[in-house]
Amino acid sequence: MYGWARRVISVHIPEAPYAELKSLAVARGVPISKLVRAATTSFLEREGPPAGSVLELPPLDGGRELRAFRRDQLLEDMVRALEPRSRRRRAAGRRKS
The mean per-residue pLDDT over the stretch 88-97 comes to 61
Question: Domain spans of the chain?
Answer: 15-47
- Model confidence pLDDT, tens digit, residues 35-74: 999 999 999 888 877 777 777 878 888 787 777 778 888 8
42: helix, strand or coil? helix
- Alpha carbons 28 and 22: distance in angstroms, whole number: 10
